Structure 1
Protein backbone atom coordinates (compact mmCIF):
# COMPACT_ATOMS: atom_id res chain seq x y z
CA UNK A 1 0.00 0.00 0.00
CA UNK A 2 1.26 3.49 -0.83
CA UNK A 3 2.14 6.15 1.71
CA UNK A 4 1.44 9.87 1.43
CA UNK A 5 2.71 12.74 3.55
CA UNK A 6 0.72 15.66 4.87
CA UNK A 7 0.97 18.33 7.56
CA UNK A 8 -0.57 18.66 11.00
CA UNK A 9 -4.06 20.02 11.46
CA UNK A 10 -2.84 23.62 11.76
CA UNK A 11 0.18 23.73 9.48
CA UNK A 12 2.74 26.50 9.47
CA UNK A 13 5.67 27.10 7.12
CA UNK A 14 7.97 24.83 9.12
CA UNK A 15 5.65 21.82 9.11
CA UNK A 16 5.02 22.30 5.40
CA UNK A 17 8.77 22.41 4.74
CA UNK A 18 9.19 19.23 6.79
CA UNK A 19 6.40 17.56 4.82
CA UNK A 20 7.97 18.52 1.49
CA UNK A 21 11.37 17.32 2.74
CA UNK A 22 9.88 13.93 3.59
CA UNK A 23 8.09 13.83 0.25
CA UNK A 24 11.32 14.48 -1.63
CA UNK A 25 13.49 12.15 0.48
CA UNK A 26 11.08 9.22 0.37
CA UNK A 27 9.68 9.90 -3.11
CA UNK A 28 6.11 9.82 -1.81
CA UNK A 29 3.24 12.18 -2.69
CA UNK A 30 2.49 15.27 -0.65
CA UNK A 31 -1.22 15.96 -0.07
CA UNK A 32 -2.73 19.10 1.43
CA UNK A 33 -4.37 18.52 4.79
CA UNK A 34 -7.40 20.76 4.09
CA UNK A 35 -8.61 20.27 7.69
CA UNK A 36 -9.32 16.59 7.01
CA UNK A 37 -8.98 13.94 9.72
CA UNK A 38 -6.45 11.14 9.37
CA UNK A 39 -9.23 8.64 8.79
CA UNK A 40 -10.69 10.78 6.02
CA UNK A 41 -7.34 11.09 4.25
CA UNK A 42 -6.78 7.34 4.57
CA UNK A 43 -10.14 6.59 3.00
CA UNK A 44 -9.76 9.09 0.19
CA UNK A 45 -6.12 8.29 -0.61
CA UNK A 46 -6.25 4.57 0.30
CA UNK A 47 -2.83 5.06 1.85
CA UNK A 48 -0.73 5.07 5.00
CA UNK A 49 -0.20 8.62 6.28
CA UNK A 50 3.03 10.30 7.34
CA UNK A 51 2.29 13.51 9.23
CA UNK A 52 4.94 16.23 9.43
CA UNK A 53 4.39 18.19 12.62
CA UNK A 54 6.39 21.10 13.97
CA UNK A 55 8.36 18.93 16.39
CA UNK A 56 8.10 15.36 15.08
CA UNK A 57 6.84 13.02 12.38
CA UNK A 58 3.93 10.66 13.03
CA UNK A 59 3.00 7.60 10.99
CA UNK A 60 -0.53 6.23 10.72
CA UNK A 61 -0.61 2.74 9.24
CA UNK A 62 -3.73 2.20 7.13
CA UNK A 63 -6.71 1.43 9.33
CA UNK A 64 -4.94 2.38 12.56
CA UNK A 65 -6.14 5.22 14.79
CA UNK A 66 -2.96 5.54 16.87
CA UNK A 67 0.28 6.80 15.29
CA UNK A 68 3.86 5.68 15.63
CA UNK A 69 6.37 8.38 16.52
CA UNK A 70 9.93 8.43 17.77
CA UNK A 71 10.47 8.36 21.53
CA UNK A 72 13.30 6.90 23.63
CA UNK A 73 10.75 4.71 25.44
CA UNK A 74 12.41 2.23 27.81
CA UNK A 75 15.89 3.44 26.83
CA UNK A 76 15.24 6.53 28.98
CA UNK A 77 15.04 4.76 32.34
CA UNK A 78 17.53 2.07 31.30
CA UNK A 79 20.13 4.74 30.53
CA UNK A 80 19.55 6.38 33.91
CA UNK A 81 19.99 3.02 35.63
CA UNK A 82 23.22 2.48 33.72
CA UNK A 83 24.46 5.90 34.82
CA UNK A 84 23.83 4.86 38.44
CA UNK A 85 26.06 1.85 37.95
CA UNK A 86 23.27 -0.69 37.60
CA UNK A 87 23.49 -3.55 35.11
CA UNK A 88 21.53 -3.92 31.87
CA UNK A 89 20.70 -7.44 30.69
CA UNK A 90 21.02 -6.56 27.00
CA UNK A 91 24.48 -5.05 27.52
CA UNK A 92 25.55 -8.08 29.53
CA UNK A 93 24.51 -10.27 26.58
CA UNK A 94 26.19 -8.31 23.79
CA UNK A 95 29.37 -7.66 25.85
CA UNK A 96 30.32 -4.49 23.98
CA UNK A 97 33.56 -2.66 24.64
CA UNK A 98 34.57 0.92 23.87
CA UNK A 99 35.18 1.30 20.14
CA UNK A 100 33.19 -1.80 19.17
CA UNK A 101 30.77 -2.01 16.26
CA UNK A 102 27.26 -3.46 16.47
CA UNK A 103 24.70 -4.16 13.76
CA UNK A 104 21.14 -4.15 15.08
CA UNK A 105 19.27 -6.17 12.47
CA UNK A 106 15.80 -5.14 13.63
CA UNK A 107 16.05 -1.57 14.86
CA UNK A 108 12.42 -1.14 15.96
CA UNK A 109 12.24 1.64 18.56
CA UNK A 110 16.07 1.65 18.76
CA UNK A 111 15.95 1.22 22.54
CA UNK A 112 18.68 -1.42 22.56
CA UNK A 113 20.77 0.49 20.03
CA UNK A 114 20.61 3.59 22.23
CA UNK A 115 22.06 1.61 25.14
CA UNK A 116 24.68 0.13 22.82
CA UNK A 117 25.71 3.60 21.64
CA UNK A 118 26.45 4.58 25.23
CA UNK A 119 28.57 1.49 25.74
CA UNK A 120 30.75 1.76 22.61
CA UNK A 121 31.46 5.48 23.03
CA UNK A 122 32.40 8.00 20.38
CA UNK A 123 34.91 5.67 18.77
CA UNK A 124 32.36 2.91 18.31
CA UNK A 125 29.72 2.46 15.66
CA UNK A 126 26.08 1.39 15.86
CA UNK A 127 24.12 0.57 12.71
CA UNK A 128 20.42 -0.31 12.70
CA UNK A 129 18.43 -1.88 9.86
CA UNK A 130 14.78 -1.01 9.28
CA UNK A 131 12.94 -2.63 6.38
CA UNK A 132 10.13 -0.06 6.10
CA UNK A 133 11.70 3.04 4.45
CA UNK A 134 9.19 5.42 6.06
CA UNK A 135 9.93 4.08 9.54
CA UNK A 136 13.66 4.19 8.78
CA UNK A 137 13.31 7.85 7.82
CA UNK A 138 11.35 8.64 10.99
CA UNK A 139 13.87 6.86 13.20
CA UNK A 140 16.83 8.66 11.64
CA UNK A 141 15.09 12.03 11.98
CA UNK A 142 14.01 11.25 15.54
CA UNK A 143 17.46 10.15 16.65
CA UNK A 144 18.95 13.34 15.23
CA UNK A 145 16.26 15.78 16.36
CA UNK A 146 15.09 14.52 19.75
CA UNK A 147 15.76 17.20 22.38
CA UNK A 148 17.41 15.07 25.06
CA UNK A 149 18.59 18.24 26.85
CA UNK A 150 15.07 19.63 27.29
CA UNK A 151 13.82 16.19 28.29
CA UNK A 152 16.67 15.87 30.82
CA UNK A 153 18.03 12.74 29.19
CA UNK A 154 21.67 13.74 28.74
CA UNK A 155 22.55 10.06 29.19
CA UNK A 156 21.15 9.48 25.70
CA UNK A 157 23.21 12.11 23.87
CA UNK A 158 25.03 9.28 22.07
CA UNK A 159 21.81 8.41 20.17
CA UNK A 160 22.96 10.94 17.56
CA UNK A 161 25.67 8.55 16.37
CA UNK A 162 23.29 5.69 15.47
CA UNK A 163 23.18 5.11 11.71
CA UNK A 164 19.86 3.94 10.27
CA UNK A 165 19.93 1.80 7.14
CA UNK A 166 16.70 1.45 5.18
CA UNK A 167 17.02 -2.22 4.28
CA UNK A 168 15.94 -5.73 5.18
CA UNK A 169 18.72 -6.99 7.44
CA UNK A 170 19.72 -10.00 5.36
CA UNK A 171 20.03 -7.83 2.24
CA UNK A 172 22.35 -5.44 4.07
CA UNK A 173 24.36 -8.29 5.59
CA UNK A 174 25.04 -9.71 2.13
CA UNK A 175 26.78 -6.46 1.17
CA UNK A 176 29.19 -6.52 4.11
CA UNK A 177 32.61 -8.20 4.07
CA UNK A 178 33.16 -11.04 6.54
CA UNK A 179 34.14 -10.21 10.14
CA UNK A 180 33.32 -6.50 9.82
CA UNK A 181 30.99 -6.06 12.83
CA UNK A 182 32.03 -7.04 16.34
CA UNK A 183 28.48 -8.02 17.26
CA UNK A 184 25.42 -8.78 15.15
CA UNK A 185 22.18 -8.49 17.13
CA UNK A 186 18.99 -10.31 16.11
CA UNK A 187 15.61 -9.46 17.56
CA UNK A 188 12.89 -11.03 15.37
CA UNK A 189 10.31 -9.08 17.34
CA UNK A 190 7.28 -10.34 15.44
CA UNK A 191 7.82 -13.98 16.31
CA UNK A 192 5.79 -13.38 19.48
CA UNK A 193 4.51 -10.17 21.08
CA UNK A 194 7.10 -9.18 23.68
CA UNK A 195 7.29 -5.39 23.74
CA UNK A 196 4.55 -3.86 25.88
CA UNK A 197 5.07 -0.19 25.03
CA UNK A 198 1.86 1.48 23.83
CA UNK A 199 3.85 3.20 21.09
CA UNK A 200 5.05 -0.19 19.83
CA UNK A 201 1.63 -1.36 18.64
CA UNK A 202 1.44 0.98 15.61
CA UNK A 203 5.07 0.10 14.80
CA UNK A 204 4.21 -3.59 14.84
CA UNK A 205 1.47 -2.91 12.28
CA UNK A 206 3.87 -0.92 10.08
CA UNK A 207 6.83 -3.24 10.40
CA UNK A 208 7.97 -5.88 7.94
CA UNK A 209 7.47 -9.32 9.46
CA UNK A 210 10.43 -11.57 8.73
CA UNK A 211 11.40 -14.64 10.75
CA UNK A 212 14.96 -15.69 11.43
CA UNK A 213 15.94 -18.28 8.82
CA UNK A 214 19.04 -20.19 7.70
CA UNK A 215 20.27 -17.51 5.30
CA UNK A 216 19.87 -14.70 7.83
CA UNK A 217 21.72 -16.72 10.45
CA UNK A 218 24.48 -17.68 8.01
CA UNK A 219 25.06 -14.06 7.00
CA UNK A 220 25.01 -12.89 10.62
CA UNK A 221 27.67 -15.44 11.56
CA UNK A 222 29.78 -14.50 8.54
CA UNK A 223 29.71 -10.78 9.30
CA UNK A 224 30.13 -11.02 13.08
CA UNK A 225 33.69 -10.86 14.38
CA UNK A 226 33.01 -11.72 18.04
CA UNK A 227 29.46 -12.98 18.49
CA UNK A 228 25.85 -13.11 17.33
CA UNK A 229 23.22 -12.33 19.97
CA UNK A 230 19.56 -13.31 19.72
CA UNK A 231 16.63 -11.88 21.70
CA UNK A 232 13.51 -14.03 21.57
CA UNK A 233 10.57 -15.33 23.57
CA UNK A 234 11.77 -17.68 26.28
CA UNK A 235 9.97 -20.59 24.59
CA UNK A 236 11.37 -19.83 21.14
CA UNK A 237 12.74 -22.84 19.24
CA UNK A 238 15.36 -20.56 17.64
CA UNK A 239 17.78 -20.94 20.54
CA UNK A 240 18.09 -24.69 20.03
CA UNK A 241 17.75 -24.63 16.24
CA UNK A 242 20.73 -22.29 15.77
CA UNK A 243 22.78 -23.51 18.75
CA UNK A 244 22.63 -20.37 20.86
CA UNK A 245 23.67 -20.54 24.50
CA UNK A 246 20.42 -19.42 26.11
CA UNK A 247 20.74 -17.04 29.04
CA UNK A 248 17.69 -18.04 31.04
CA UNK A 249 16.07 -15.33 33.16
CA UNK A 250 13.37 -16.42 35.63
CA UNK A 251 10.03 -14.61 35.43
CA UNK A 252 10.80 -12.81 32.16
CA UNK A 253 9.07 -13.11 28.80
CA UNK A 254 12.25 -13.02 26.72
CA UNK A 255 15.73 -14.46 26.90
CA UNK A 256 19.01 -13.74 25.15
CA UNK A 257 21.06 -16.29 23.27
CA UNK A 258 24.77 -15.98 22.50
CA UNK A 259 26.72 -17.62 19.68
CA UNK A 260 30.43 -16.98 20.22
CA UNK A 261 32.68 -17.04 17.17
Structure 2
Protein backbone atom coordinates (compact mmCIF):
# COMPACT_ATOMS: atom_id res chain seq x y z
CA UNK A 1 0.00 0.00 0.00
CA UNK A 2 1.13 3.56 -0.75
CA UNK A 3 -0.05 7.06 0.18
CA UNK A 4 -0.48 9.83 -2.37
CA UNK A 5 -2.53 12.98 -2.94
CA UNK A 6 -5.13 14.12 -5.39
CA UNK A 7 -4.06 16.04 -8.46
CA UNK A 8 -2.57 19.48 -7.74
CA UNK A 9 -2.54 19.25 -3.94
CA UNK A 10 -2.08 22.27 -1.70
CA UNK A 11 0.88 22.38 0.66
CA UNK A 12 -1.52 21.61 3.52
CA UNK A 13 -2.93 18.54 1.76
CA UNK A 14 0.53 17.25 0.91
CA UNK A 15 1.64 17.69 4.53
CA UNK A 16 -1.47 15.82 5.65
CA UNK A 17 -0.63 12.94 3.30
CA UNK A 18 2.99 12.81 4.50
CA UNK A 19 1.78 12.72 8.11
CA UNK A 20 -0.63 9.83 7.47
CA UNK A 21 2.06 7.90 5.58
CA UNK A 22 4.41 8.27 8.54
CA UNK A 23 1.76 7.20 11.05
CA UNK A 24 0.96 4.12 8.97
CA UNK A 25 4.62 3.38 8.14
CA UNK A 26 3.77 3.48 4.44
CA UNK A 27 5.67 5.11 1.56
CA UNK A 28 4.49 8.53 0.41
CA UNK A 29 4.44 8.92 -3.37
CA UNK A 30 4.08 12.21 -5.24
CA UNK A 31 1.06 12.07 -7.55
CA UNK A 32 2.61 13.94 -10.51
CA UNK A 33 -0.62 13.68 -12.54
CA UNK A 34 -0.44 9.89 -12.64
CA UNK A 35 -3.69 7.94 -12.57
CA UNK A 36 -4.37 5.40 -9.85
CA UNK A 37 -4.02 2.47 -12.31
CA UNK A 38 -0.62 3.85 -13.34
CA UNK A 39 0.48 4.07 -9.70
CA UNK A 40 -0.73 0.52 -9.05
CA UNK A 41 1.31 -0.81 -11.95
CA UNK A 42 4.40 1.22 -11.11
CA UNK A 43 4.47 0.37 -7.40
CA UNK A 44 2.97 -3.11 -7.57
CA UNK A 45 0.20 -2.41 -5.08
CA UNK A 46 -3.58 -2.55 -5.05
CA UNK A 47 -4.40 -0.31 -2.09
CA UNK A 48 -3.75 3.42 -2.44
CA UNK A 49 -4.57 5.92 0.28
CA UNK A 50 -5.50 9.13 -1.54
CA UNK A 51 -5.45 12.35 0.50
CA UNK A 52 -7.33 15.40 -0.77
CA UNK A 53 -8.70 18.60 0.75
CA UNK A 54 -11.84 16.61 1.63
CA UNK A 55 -9.90 13.99 3.61
CA UNK A 56 -8.36 10.56 3.06
CA UNK A 57 -9.87 7.63 1.20
CA UNK A 58 -8.57 4.13 0.56
CA UNK A 59 -8.95 3.09 -3.07
CA UNK A 60 -8.65 -0.42 -4.46
CA UNK A 61 -9.03 -1.60 -8.03
CA UNK A 62 -12.21 -3.46 -7.09
CA UNK A 63 -14.91 -2.59 -4.58
CA UNK A 64 -16.05 0.54 -2.82
CA UNK A 65 -13.54 3.11 -1.55
CA UNK A 66 -13.24 3.41 2.21
CA UNK A 67 -13.33 6.86 3.78
CA UNK A 68 -14.57 8.48 6.94
CA UNK A 69 -18.05 10.01 6.92
CA UNK A 70 -20.20 10.92 9.93
CA UNK A 71 -23.02 9.03 8.23
CA UNK A 72 -26.32 9.54 10.10
CA UNK A 73 -24.73 11.35 13.07
CA UNK A 74 -25.33 14.77 11.50
CA UNK A 75 -29.04 14.09 11.00
CA UNK A 76 -29.43 12.60 14.48
CA UNK A 77 -27.73 15.56 16.16
CA UNK A 78 -29.98 17.97 14.26
CA UNK A 79 -33.00 16.07 15.55
CA UNK A 80 -31.69 16.17 19.11
CA UNK A 81 -31.22 19.93 18.82
CA UNK A 82 -34.86 20.21 17.77
CA UNK A 83 -35.86 18.44 20.96
CA UNK A 84 -36.42 14.97 19.50
CA UNK A 85 -35.16 11.82 21.19
CA UNK A 86 -32.56 9.36 19.95
CA UNK A 87 -33.35 5.73 20.65
CA UNK A 88 -29.72 4.76 21.22
CA UNK A 89 -29.31 7.49 23.84
CA UNK A 90 -32.59 6.41 25.45
CA UNK A 91 -31.54 2.76 25.67
CA UNK A 92 -28.24 3.81 27.24
CA UNK A 93 -29.97 6.32 29.55
CA UNK A 94 -27.38 8.91 28.54
CA UNK A 95 -27.08 12.11 30.56
CA UNK A 96 -24.63 15.03 30.34
CA UNK A 97 -21.32 14.16 31.96
CA UNK A 98 -21.57 10.41 31.33
CA UNK A 99 -18.57 8.34 30.30
CA UNK A 100 -19.25 5.95 27.40
CA UNK A 101 -17.05 3.19 26.01
CA UNK A 102 -17.95 2.42 22.39
CA UNK A 103 -16.21 -0.94 22.20
CA UNK A 104 -16.68 -1.41 18.44
CA UNK A 105 -16.09 2.02 16.93
CA UNK A 106 -16.30 1.32 13.20
CA UNK A 107 -16.92 4.57 11.34
CA UNK A 108 -17.85 6.30 14.59
CA UNK A 109 -21.37 7.61 13.86
CA UNK A 110 -22.77 6.29 17.15
CA UNK A 111 -19.74 7.58 19.07
CA UNK A 112 -20.34 11.05 17.64
CA UNK A 113 -23.95 11.00 18.82
CA UNK A 114 -22.80 9.79 22.24
CA UNK A 115 -20.32 12.68 22.37
CA UNK A 116 -23.11 15.14 21.68
CA UNK A 117 -25.29 13.52 24.33
CA UNK A 118 -22.70 13.50 27.12
CA UNK A 119 -21.57 17.04 26.35
CA UNK A 120 -18.33 18.82 27.15
CA UNK A 121 -18.04 17.33 30.64
CA UNK A 122 -18.58 13.76 29.44
CA UNK A 123 -16.22 11.35 27.75
CA UNK A 124 -16.53 8.98 24.78
CA UNK A 125 -13.78 6.45 24.08
CA UNK A 126 -14.08 4.45 20.87
CA UNK A 127 -12.16 1.19 20.50
CA UNK A 128 -11.31 -0.15 17.04
CA UNK A 129 -9.40 -3.38 16.47
CA UNK A 130 -8.29 -2.63 12.90
CA UNK A 131 -5.41 -0.09 12.91
CA UNK A 132 -6.12 1.28 9.44
CA UNK A 133 -9.78 1.93 10.25
CA UNK A 134 -8.84 3.46 13.59
CA UNK A 135 -6.37 5.88 12.03
CA UNK A 136 -8.62 6.96 9.17
CA UNK A 137 -11.59 7.45 11.49
CA UNK A 138 -9.51 9.34 14.05
CA UNK A 139 -8.15 11.53 11.26
CA UNK A 140 -11.63 12.09 9.84
CA UNK A 141 -13.05 13.03 13.23
CA UNK A 142 -10.48 15.83 13.41
CA UNK A 143 -10.57 17.05 9.81
CA UNK A 144 -14.05 16.40 8.34
CA UNK A 145 -15.37 19.76 7.06
CA UNK A 146 -18.82 20.66 8.35
CA UNK A 147 -20.69 23.94 8.88
CA UNK A 148 -22.37 22.46 11.97
CA UNK A 149 -20.60 23.56 15.15
CA UNK A 150 -22.45 20.90 17.16
CA UNK A 151 -21.33 18.10 14.85
CA UNK A 152 -17.77 19.41 14.70
CA UNK A 153 -17.48 19.70 18.49
CA UNK A 154 -18.93 16.22 18.99
CA UNK A 155 -16.46 14.71 16.50
CA UNK A 156 -13.54 16.43 18.22
CA UNK A 157 -14.57 14.99 21.60
CA UNK A 158 -14.43 11.34 20.48
CA UNK A 159 -11.23 9.62 21.64
CA UNK A 160 -9.95 6.67 19.58
CA UNK A 161 -8.00 3.70 20.93
CA UNK A 162 -6.57 0.89 18.79
CA UNK A 163 -7.05 -2.61 20.14
CA UNK A 164 -9.37 -5.56 20.47
CA UNK A 165 -12.28 -4.62 22.70
CA UNK A 166 -11.71 -7.58 25.01
CA UNK A 167 -8.06 -6.66 25.53
CA UNK A 168 -9.00 -3.05 26.25
CA UNK A 169 -11.82 -4.02 28.63
CA UNK A 170 -9.44 -6.20 30.63
CA UNK A 171 -7.23 -3.19 31.31
CA UNK A 172 -10.03 -0.98 32.64
CA UNK A 173 -10.96 -0.59 36.32
CA UNK A 174 -14.29 -1.80 37.68
CA UNK A 175 -17.21 0.59 37.09
CA UNK A 176 -15.04 3.06 35.17
CA UNK A 177 -17.60 3.86 32.44
CA UNK A 178 -21.31 4.52 32.78
CA UNK A 179 -22.14 2.58 29.61
CA UNK A 180 -20.31 0.02 27.50
CA UNK A 181 -21.73 -0.19 23.98
CA UNK A 182 -21.30 -2.94 21.39
CA UNK A 183 -22.20 -2.63 17.72
CA UNK A 184 -20.54 -5.67 16.11
CA UNK A 185 -20.43 -5.81 12.33
CA UNK A 186 -23.97 -6.38 11.12
CA UNK A 187 -24.59 -9.66 9.33
CA UNK A 188 -27.98 -8.59 7.98
CA UNK A 189 -28.90 -6.47 4.99
CA UNK A 190 -28.65 -3.22 6.92
CA UNK A 191 -24.87 -3.72 6.86
CA UNK A 192 -24.96 -3.11 3.13
CA UNK A 193 -26.32 0.42 3.48
CA UNK A 194 -24.30 2.99 1.56
CA UNK A 195 -23.04 4.57 4.76
CA UNK A 196 -20.94 1.58 5.84
CA UNK A 197 -20.49 -0.46 2.67
CA UNK A 198 -16.94 0.79 2.18
CA UNK A 199 -15.78 -0.38 5.61
CA UNK A 200 -17.03 -3.94 5.29
CA UNK A 201 -13.91 -5.53 3.67
CA UNK A 202 -11.67 -4.05 6.37
CA UNK A 203 -13.82 -4.57 9.47
CA UNK A 204 -13.34 -7.27 12.08
CA UNK A 205 -16.08 -9.90 11.51
CA UNK A 206 -15.41 -11.66 14.83
CA UNK A 207 -18.63 -12.25 16.80
CA UNK A 208 -19.12 -10.79 20.25
CA UNK A 209 -18.13 -13.25 22.98
CA UNK A 210 -19.65 -13.99 26.36
CA UNK A 211 -16.28 -13.19 27.94
CA UNK A 212 -16.39 -9.69 26.45
CA UNK A 213 -19.88 -9.20 27.86
CA UNK A 214 -18.73 -10.29 31.31
CA UNK A 215 -15.84 -7.84 31.18
CA UNK A 216 -18.17 -5.09 29.98
CA UNK A 217 -20.54 -5.72 32.90
CA UNK A 218 -17.59 -5.35 35.25
CA UNK A 219 -16.51 -2.07 33.66
CA UNK A 220 -20.01 -0.55 33.35
CA UNK A 221 -21.61 1.43 36.15
CA UNK A 222 -25.06 1.46 34.55
CA UNK A 223 -25.54 -0.96 31.69
CA UNK A 224 -24.11 -2.73 28.68
CA UNK A 225 -25.96 -2.13 25.40
CA UNK A 226 -25.91 -4.22 22.22
CA UNK A 227 -26.98 -3.07 18.76
CA UNK A 228 -27.81 -5.53 15.99
CA UNK A 229 -29.32 -5.42 12.55
CA UNK A 230 -32.85 -6.48 11.71
CA UNK A 231 -33.48 -10.08 12.70
CA UNK A 232 -30.45 -10.21 14.99
CA UNK A 233 -30.55 -12.94 17.62
CA UNK A 234 -27.22 -12.42 19.35
CA UNK A 235 -28.99 -10.76 22.25
CA UNK A 236 -30.76 -14.04 23.00
CA UNK A 237 -27.50 -15.99 22.98
CA UNK A 238 -25.81 -13.51 25.31
CA UNK A 239 -28.69 -12.93 27.71
CA UNK A 240 -29.60 -9.36 26.81
CA UNK A 241 -33.07 -7.87 27.29
CA UNK A 242 -34.54 -6.38 24.09
CA UNK A 243 -35.50 -2.72 24.15
CA UNK A 244 -38.85 -2.44 22.43
CA UNK A 245 -39.00 0.27 19.79
CA UNK A 246 -40.80 0.92 16.53
CA UNK A 247 -37.55 0.72 14.61
CA UNK A 248 -37.37 -2.31 12.37
CA UNK A 249 -33.86 -1.97 10.93
CA UNK A 250 -32.04 -2.01 14.28
CA UNK A 251 -32.44 -4.13 17.41
CA UNK A 252 -31.20 -2.71 20.73
CA UNK A 253 -30.84 -4.80 23.87
CA UNK A 254 -29.21 -4.32 27.25
CA UNK A 255 -27.96 -5.84 30.47
CA UNK A 256 -27.91 -3.76 33.63
CA UNK A 257 -24.62 -3.78 35.52
CA UNK A 258 -24.62 -5.58 38.88
CA UNK A 259 -25.38 -2.97 41.52
CA UNK A 260 -25.83 -0.43 38.76
CA UNK A 261 -27.28 3.02 39.03
TM-score higher than 0.5: yes
Q: 5+ residue gaps in structure 1?
A: none
How much has 1:23 moved relative to structure 2?
Answer: 1.3
Q: Over the residues paired in the alignment, what is the CA RMSD in angstroms? A: 2.0
* Equivalent residue number for residue 46 of structure 1: 45
Query: SS at the partner of 2:7?
Result: coil
| 2:197 is equivalent to residue 201 of structure 1 | yes
Count of residue pairs the alignment pairs up:
255
Moved more, 159-168 or 244-253: 244-253
Question: Kindly tell me: are residues 39 and 198 of structure 1, through their superposed partners in 2, closer, same or farther at Cα, counting changes over 3 Å?
Answer: farther
* Equivalent residue number for residue 20 of structure 2: 22
Deviations 1:182-228 (A, max 9, x none): 10000012333424542411111222222111222222222112110
Aligned counterparts of 1:73 and 1:253: Cα–Cα separation in 2: 16
Q: Is the 2:46–2:61 Cα contact (8 Å) retained in structure 1?
A: no
| 2:58 is equivalent to residue 59 of structure 1 | yes
* Equivalent residue number for residue 162 of structure 1: 158
Question: Kindly tell me: are residues 9 and 66 of structure 1, through their superposed partners in 2, closer, same or farther at Cα, counting changes over 3 Å?
Answer: farther
How much has 1:178 moved relative to structure 2?
Answer: 1.9
* Equivalent residue number for residue 100 of structure 1: 98
Q: 5+ residue gaps in structure 2?
A: none
Q: Is the 1:39–1:65 Cα contact (8 Å) retained in structure 2?
A: no
* Equivalent residue number for residue 34 of structure 2: 36
Give the 5 Å matches for 1:1-261: 3-42=1-40, 44-60=43-59, 62-148=60-146, 151=147, 153-156=148-151, 157-195=153-191, 197-250=193-246, 252-261=248-257
Q: Is the 2:184–2:207 Cα contact (8 Å) retained in structure 1?
A: yes
Moved more, 207-216 or 124-133: 207-216
TM-score (norm 1): 0.89
Aligned counterparts of 1:242 and 1:232: Cα–Cα separation in 2: 12
